Structure 1
Amino acid sequence: MKRLLLSLPLMALLAACAAEEPQSVTESEVGSSTIEQPVQPVIPEPQKEEYSMTPATLSIPKLDLEAPIKKFGLDKEGNMELPDNGKDVAWFEPGFQPGEKGNAVLAGHVDDEKKAAVFFELKKLEPGDEIHLQDENGATLTFVVREKVAYQKDDAPLRTIFGPSEKRMLNLITCTGYFDREIDNYVERLVVFTELVEENKGS
């Protein structure tokens, strides 16, 4: 399977730093794919928060999408591990938990060989669309899309995407733009910024 990854040097990214809001950047037309996370980021201290969860399932009603979420950490090279298939969604488990203050991150492939993968239609999301997460006990968190931005491959604002925040953010990432055969990768990265708006406890 062809891996289309975004290399993000996350060295010390999750250290204590001022929270940043998503920056408005001109969005270009998009496709999608996945991401890779890099070198030995500083992991946030564990926090017990009312809203945080270990996600098991992602649901996006607008896209008629439901997919399993798997925990992924860092590989031996310090990059984010990713699913070896086009169906699973990767949660960067060493980072922030969905629902806690900070930027939790999910990543998914845009294609699996020549087939559409889990985040193939991520580009269709617009502000106001809902994202639902559910844990293994049935508790759910609801996030709403605030912004959708396409960044050049090497210009993604790492603190904005992965770093601390006073808001409870969930950011979905994939590749986009056209596929450059010279670099064997997509030229842009699509980030869908979402914010927690509702919390429901399972029965």
Structure 2
Amino acid sequence: MDIKKSGEIFAGYYINSVKSKIRPVTILANGQMDVPKDTDLTGILYPGILPGEKGNVIIDGHVDSYTGPAVFYNLKKLRPGDRIIVSDKKKHRLIYTVVSTEVFTPAEAPVERIFSKTDEYRMNLIT
């Protein structure tokens, strides 16, 4: 699937009654991960690990905007045991279970751990 043409990898996800579409984003020239301009959308690092593949799936989104809460506004409410459901256009679902939550300032974020390769199936949600 050529996600650059379709603009969509997975149709969306569902977290604690929040639904959002997922769009591909890249690493910018300054080394930061891009984020969708639309604050109701999430971005997935592409090229990168896709849901269902071994490794760290990286999904980002905004917490708020000039007009109010954004897609990841309630991310702080996630708790271990909560489920994150990712589905494709054909309604196939992948379920990730929250193992832990951590909050870092940009300067303190363990970038290597968040973006590194792993043999586990992981999803990291970042804002």
Q: TM-score, normalised by structure 2?
A: 0.86
Report the alpha carbon displacement of residue 78 of structure 1 after superposing the two structures with TM. 4.2
Partner residue in 2 for 1:140 = 93
Partner residue in 2 for 1:121 = 74
Written as runs of structure 1 = structure 2, the 5 A alignment for 1:40-119 is 54-60=9-15, 62=16, 64-119=17-72
Q: Quick one: which amino acid aligns to residue 126 of structure 1?
A: R
Written as runs of structure 1 = structure 2, the 5 A alignment for 1:182-193 is none
Structure 2 alignment gaps of length 5 or more: 1-8
The whole-number CA distance in structure 2 between the counterparts of 1:78 and 1:134 is 29
Post-superposition CA distance 1:160-199 (Å, at most 9, x none): 211111110011112xxxxxxxxxxxxxxxxxxxxxxxxx
The whole-number CA distance in structure 1 between the counterparts of 2:55 and 2:120 is 6
Partner residue in 2 for 1:172 = 125
Give yes or no for the alignment of 1:160 onto 2:74.
no
Contact 1:85/1:112 (CA < 8 Å) preserved in 2? no
Report the alpha carbon displacement of residue 98 of structure 1 after superposing the two structures with TM. 1.5
- The structure with the largest alpha-carbon Rg is 1
Post-superposition CA distance 1:24-62 (Å, at most 9, x none): xxxxxxxxxxxxxxxxxxxxxxxxxxxxxx3220111x2
The whole-number CA distance in structure 1 between the counterparts of 2:126 and 2:100 is 12
Q: Quick one: which amino acid aligns to residue 107 of structure 2?
A: D
How many residues of Structure 1 are paired with residues of Structure 2 in the alignment? Answer: 119
Q: In structure 2, do the counterparts of structure 1 residues 82 and 152 end up closer, same or farther at CA, with 3 Å as the change threshold? A: closer
The whole-number CA distance in structure 2 between the counterparts of 1:161 and 1:75 is 17
Q: In structure 2, do the counterparts of structure 1 residues 80 and 66 end up closer, same or farther at CA, with 3 Å as the change threshold? A: same
State the percentage of identical aligned residues. Answer: 34
Post-superposition CA distance 1:93-120 (Å, at most 9, x none): 1121122111110001011114100000
Question: Residue 101 of structure 2: SS of its match in structure 1?
Answer: strand
Partner residue in 1 for 2:3 = none
Structure 1 alignment gaps of length 5 or more: 1-53, 175-203
The whole-number CA distance in structure 2 between the counterparts of 1:173 and 1:82 is 10
The whole-number CA distance in structure 1 between the counterparts of 2:106 and 2:28 is 21
The whole-number CA distance in structure 1 between the counterparts of 2:113 and 2:28 is 23
Q: TM-score, normalised by structure 1?
A: 0.55
Give yes or no for the alignment of 1:131 onto 2:81.
no
Q: In structure 2, do the counterparts of structure 1 residues 73 and 152 end up closer, same or farther at CA, with 3 Å as the change threshold? A: closer
When the two chains are superposed, the root-mean-square deviation of aligned CA atoms in Å is: 1.4
